[in-house]
Amino acid sequence: MLSPDSARRAEAAGYTNVRIFHEGMPAWKKAGNLVVSEPESLKEFIGKDISHVLVDLRPAKQAAAGHIQGAFSVPAESLASAKERFPADKSAPIILYGEGIPAEAFRTVRGWGYKDTTLLNGGIASWQKIGGLLLQGEMPSSIVYVWKPRPGEVLIEDFKNYVEKKDPGVLILDVRDKDEAMNGMLRGAINIPASEIQDRAKELPKDKLIVTHCVTGIRAESAYEDLKELGFKNIKFLNAVIQIDKDGKYEITKK
């Protein structure tokens, strides 16, 4: 648990008015509240070809005069009637940008059930600030979205095969904390908490495929990034919810 730990440290550093929003991001999103994303993340989505839907809410002419790569043009005033053009997959990350803070557009799209809708913080201006380029010309108005795994994401079926077949060429790396792992681990897996990966990477073989997992995929991906940075070439991570009992029996659910 990250936030209670940070709160403790803040109090230790002398802060006297510390609170914990313990339900955190999942509860915030579930209640339909405004979520903002940063241009750095959009840049990574575009650079790594991570599936997303980018929507330019400005008037069509203005958008055509300078927009972000891959954006679809859906002017804010016609958004309400554009519902049918949005993808069938409600888990698609939808990033909106327009003039100022288009909170109304956010609520509309979020209201259609797209739980990963965000507003690009600062819009076009913040995009340009991080060196993002603007494109000119006609933009597609029909939205295309095809889900692809994130870079390094292992398919759930493949992960199950790795666990069941006990392939000697594959190492399952459990990056949960020790006390979580004590309550049950996958057979054959080894445990190195995500926070210790950088210090303990030398314990890991370089000649095997390493597949990381945690509980939801968040720490598994961060361990994946750490290992990649440390020069490991053959790594994947499980980007799904996994529960493991004492006997090593497990259940994986897609996020």
Partner 1 sequence: MRHRKISSLSVSLLVMVMLVASAGQAAAAKPTVGGTCKQCHQPQANVIRGTLVGISNQFKTIQVAVGSLVWVVKFGDGIAVTGAEKLETIPKDKEIGVTFTGDEKNPYAVGVSVKPPAKIAPEKLARVEDVQKLVAAGPEKGDFVIVDSRPRPRYLEGHIPFAVSLPNDKFDQAKDAVLPKDKGRLIIFYCAGVT
Question: Tokens representing 108?
Answer: 């509309």
Q: Is 239 in the site for partner 1 (CB under 8 A)?
A: no
Give the residue carrying structure tokens 């600062």.
122
Q: Is 113 in the site for partner 1 (CB under 8 A)?
A: no
Buried b (16+ CB within 10 A) or exposed e, 183-206: eebbeebebbbbebbeeebeebee
Q: Is 27 in the site for partner 1 (CB under 8 A)?
A: yes
Closest CA to 59 of 70, 74, 69: 74
Rounded Cα distance between 40 and 42, Å, is: 6
Question: Tokens representing 115?
Answer: 């739980």
Site string for partner 1, 171-190 (x = CB under 8 A): --------x--xx-------
Q: Please give the span between the terminal C-alpha atoms of the chain, in angstroms, as a whole number.
A: 19
Contacting partner 1 (CB under 8 A), which of 60, 64, 215, 252?
215
Shortest Å, Cβ 178 to partner 1: 9
117 with 110: CB under 8 angstroms?
A: yes
Q: Is 26 in the site for partner 1 (CB under 8 A)?
A: yes
Shortest Å, Cβ 173 to partner 1: 16
Question: Tokens representing 251?
Answer: 């259940």
Helix (H) or strand (E) holding 197: helix 197-200
Which region, judged by CB under 8 A, interacts with partner 1, from 36-44, 133-141, 165-173, 229-237? Answer: 36-44
Q: Is 255 in the site for partner 1 (CB under 8 A)?
A: no
Q: Is 28 in the site for partner 1 (CB under 8 A)?
A: yes
> Considering beta carbons, is residue 75 or 102 the nearer one to partner 1?
102
Site string for partner 1, 83-112 (x = CB under 8 A): ----------x-------------------
Question: Tokens representing 174?
Answer: 């459990």
Q: Is 37 in the site for partner 1 (CB under 8 A)?
A: yes
* Residues 49-88 close enough to bind partner 1 by CB under 8 A: none
Closest CA to 186 of 110, 243, 239, 144: 243
Q: Which residues bind partner 1 (CB under 8 A)?
A: 1-7, 9-10, 13-29, 31, 33-38, 40-41, 44, 93, 116, 118, 179, 182-183, 195, 214-216, 218-219, 221-222, 225, 246
